[in-house]
Amino acid sequence: MSRKLTFIPGPVEFSDAVLNAMSTPSQSHSSPEFTQVFQEALKNTRKVFKSTDPETQPFVLSGSGTLGWELVGANLVSRSEAVLVVSTGFFSEHFAEALQVYTDNVDIVGAEVFGDAVKLPAIEAKLKAKSYGVITVTQTDTSSGVLSNVKEIAALVKKVSPNTLIVVDAVCATACEELEFDAWGIDFVLTGSQKALGCPSGLSISYASKRALDKALAHKPVSYYASIPRWLPVMRAFENGSPAYFATPAVQLVHAYNVALKEVLSPSLEERIKAHAEASNKFKNNLESLGVKLVTVSRDVAAHGLTTAYYPDGVDGPTFLSKVRDNGFTLATGIYKDYKDKYFRVGHMGVSAVGERKQELDQCFEAIAKALRESK
Amino acid sequence: MSRKLTFIPGPVEFSDAVLNAMSTPSQSHSSPEFTQVFQEALKNTRKVFKSTDPETQPFVLSGSGTLGWELVGANLVSRSEAVLVVSTGFFSEHFAEALQVYTDNVDIVGAEVFGDAVKLPAIEAKLKAKSYGVITVTQTDTSSGVLSNVKEIAALVKKVSPNTLIVVDAVCATACEELEFDAWGIDFVLTGSQKALGCPSGLSISYASKRALDKALAHKPVSYYASIPRWLPVMRAFENGSPAYFATPAVQLVHAYNVALKEVLSPSLEERIKAHAEASNKFKNNLESLGVKLVTVSRDVAAHGLTTAYYPDGVDGPTFLSKVRDNGFTLATGIYKDYKDKYFRVGHMGVSAVGERKQELDQCFEAIAKALRESK
């Protein structure tokens, strides 16, 4: 059986250089060789979030993307503090569920229909009705494929409720959607390694403002592993070129991440993001040309790292996905509540969408088209 | 500059087969290909702990070994519950520190001198004086190189305080020291991937008894990512051959872990553990033949996965370690309080100690001997 190319919304396909870095022979986590690599990775993480403010802080930890939710809950939210979750699907709702472990006061403002973003007036009304310590926005909800306009939401929060910390779940958005950490006044971004960053899963990557760090440092500790105050001196030390210890970092993953970051930043992050938008638009146009209906209600709210689309009438989902797999590509099923059997998801991030193997996305589309013809 | 071989007490050197598995091309975390690998890894994890009880449960999560402490604190310990930490060094004390996030009632029973194990009567006295919900034993404390006799301590707990859950930190002991989960009545073992298991860092591996699972399931949730109840159905599903989702697993690390487990279990775990004891004894004898004094007070309390030894009089630690590095081997500094500048640590686990590259441990000893000659 030949290998299937992975076109789910993460993990995505990885470049040979990244995979080779995964096989880096053993190094001590406090060796000069590793310290130099971790230092470079941390410095380049700043560039991915377009941040130059020296008081911000990147964190690169061993863990799944989900660990990022824990960092928010355990460091930025107190037991009775109100949190507003802007929800566009499964992952937004699960972020809320994670926060409910840490506070009894989580409100959700959702989209009017599945596949749409949350309207600004709905968010504004919530912010005016109650004082929120934290607002969370899932930039791309990987369940719906909806892109939230973080820039507009952040501007609204700054205007209506400036003391509210702005937290962005960018797991499926980092390196394929615009995000300007300093300029937009974001306080915390969490992401994962295995999506548009193009590195295998296993790293939780996050980025904190001074305001977020101050809050975390004043916070009563409720977690050990997910403690920002415990990781902070370690991250600062490595970025300054000295090893430090709290828990053993995932040496090989950090090597791979470092290589992946160079690919993301070459020739420029702006080019990379633009290329994702172009690949996404082309793929969505192609699907629509077959009469397939997208889940996202308009291109304005459609993410560029994945496409979510309804199975056409008369097409059985499992049979269709199985045919696409027979044609060489693994896609993802739907994942949101009652809709989950009605749509499928295609990830198009990284090397197979905008890198040296970008023709694979066209091949993926051909495989989908063939499977659709055979499924009717 | 040629590559330095890593002879610290984890991460250790990895076999080519394990490193190749780290480069496994992308797979969906819910694909049949990955599910089969994860299933096999979970089944083989049972063998590493010599457990056949179907009501026990392995967990393989993305994270550092430290995440294992969090699993204990967040699932097995309540706010006012008394915990007894049997301490033989830095890592035992930090386990206590981690538990103090979750309970205000942590007692430590330590060794009389650095380099010794804790005497059974001292533990017995503590157990008789107070009712402990949990006792923790660090099988090998990687700071001191002390091996605790988990079998004897577990038997004591069963006799004196049978309701106390027995938790073992086996990070530096799994696959190089004996541990019989079922037969000894252990309730929870936590370990990491990067030591004698011979897989790169980034996986937190743990193993729970039915008693521990029952307690975790009845526990008020205080963590999201480190929640045993949330991971339990996912681990069960993968072991039964069906994918399930809570957070994206580290696909490549799980592949590498699966390969590493096969090496550990071949020809048998017993052979592997015996080989570690032999390699350790030989290395310790060799060091002592040079007049080097070990930190561990006797062979009865000396771990087999690493050796801790004092710098001889007149030998400057940093200069010595630098010379050994020039000779091709990375060793580790001391790490325990006032002693940390007085001793060094050598890891001897996995492929370079007992595998196909075991001659490298002899070469490491020669490098140490040469550096000592040059340092005096």
Q: What is the pLDDT of residue B1?
A: 52
Counting one residue from chain A and one from chain B, the pairs whose CB atoms sit within 8 A come to 194
Best interface-test mutation with B: which of A26, A85, A228, A364 has the largest number of B CBs within 10 A?
A: A26
Q: What is the pLDDT of residue B124?
A: 98
Predicted confidence (pLDDT) at residue B297 exceeds the cutoff of 90: yes
Minimum-distance CB partner of B201 among A10, A97, A249: A249
What separation in angstroms does the CA of A307 have from each of A277, A279, A304, A318? 11, 11, 7, 18
Q: What is the pLDDT of residue A119?
A: 98
Known binding-site residues of B equal: 345
Q: What average pLDDT is seen over chain B?
A: 97
pLDDT band per the 50, 70, 90 thresholds, residue A376: confident
- ipTM reported for the complex, 2 dp: 0.98
Predicted confidence (pLDDT) at residue B45 exceeds the cutoff of 60: yes
Amino acid of residue B108 = I
Q: What is the DSSP letter of A370?
A: H
pLDDT band per the 50, 70, 90 thresholds, residue A321: very high
Q: What is the pLDDT of residues B310-329, one digit of tens each?
A: 999 999 999 999 999 999 99
Amino acid of residue A62 = S
Q: Give the three-class secondary structure for B7.
A: strand
- Consult the annotation and say whether A272 binds a ligand: no
Q: What average pLDDT score do residues A46-51 get?
A: 98
Q: What is the pLDDT of residues A128-140, one digit of tens each?
A: 999 999 999 999 9
Q: What is the DSSP letter of B301?
A: G
Minimum-distance CB partner of A224 among B31, B70, B250: B70
Q: What is the pLDDT of residue B376?
A: 75
Beta strands of A143-231 (E only): which ranges? 146-147, 165-169, 188-192, 203-208
Q: What is the pLDDT of residue B191?
A: 98
Helix (H) or strand (E) holding B126, with range, is helix B120-129
Give the closest residue to A15 by CA, choosing from A349, A272, A364, A268: A349
Q: What is the pLDDT of residues B218-245, one digit of tens each?
A: 999 999 999 999 999 999 999 999 999 9
Q: What average pLDDT is seen over chain A?
A: 97
pLDDT band per the 50, 70, 90 thresholds, residue A1: low
Give A189's strand partners: A168, A207
CB contact under 8 A, B3 and A25: yes
Token couple for A227: 């403690």
CB contact under 8 A, A253 and B202: yes
Which residue from B minimizes the CA distance to A23? B19
Distance CA B250, CA B21 (A): 12
Q: What is the pLDDT of residue B2?
A: 79
* pLDDT > 70 fraction of chain B, expressed in percent and rounded: 100
Q: What average pLDDT score do residues B19-46 get?
A: 97
Alpha carbon of A169: minimum distance to chain B alpha carbons (Å): 14
N- to C-terminal Cα separation, chain A: 26
Predicted confidence (pLDDT) at residue A26 exceeds the cutoff of 70: yes
Q: What average pLDDT score do residues B17-41 get?
A: 97
Q: Give the three-class secondary structure for A217.
A: helix
Q: What is the pLDDT of residues B204-220, one digit of tens each?
A: 999 999 999 999 999 99
Residues of chain A found within 8 Å of residue B200, distances taken between Cβ atoms: 26, 250-253
Beta strands of chain B (E only): which ranges? 5-6, 57-62, 83-87, 106-110, 134-138, 140-141, 146-147, 165-169, 188-192, 203-208, 306-310, 329-330, 332-333, 343-347
Q: What average pLDDT score do residues B329-339 get?
A: 97
Give A181's strand partners: none
Residues of chain A found within 8 Å of residue B336, distances taken between Cβ atoms: none
Domains of chain A by range and CATH? 5-12+268-375 (3.90.1150.10), 16-264 (3.40.640.10)
Residues of chain A found within 8 Å of residue B3, distances taken between Cβ atoms: 25
Alpha carbon of A313: minimum distance to chain B alpha carbons (Å): 26
Which residue from B minimizes the CA distance to A2? B33
Known binding-site residues of B for substrate equal: 345
Where b means 16+ CB within 10 Å and e means fewer, A110-129 reads bbeebbbbbeeeebbebbee
Q: What is the pLDDT of residue B375?
A: 86
Q: What is the pLDDT of residue B160?
A: 98
CB contact under 8 A, A223 and B101: yes
Which residue from A minimizes the CA distance to B30? A332
Q: What average pLDDT score do residues A342-365 get?
A: 98
Best interface-test mutation with B: which of A19, A24, A190, A225 has the largest number of B CBs within 10 A?
A: A225
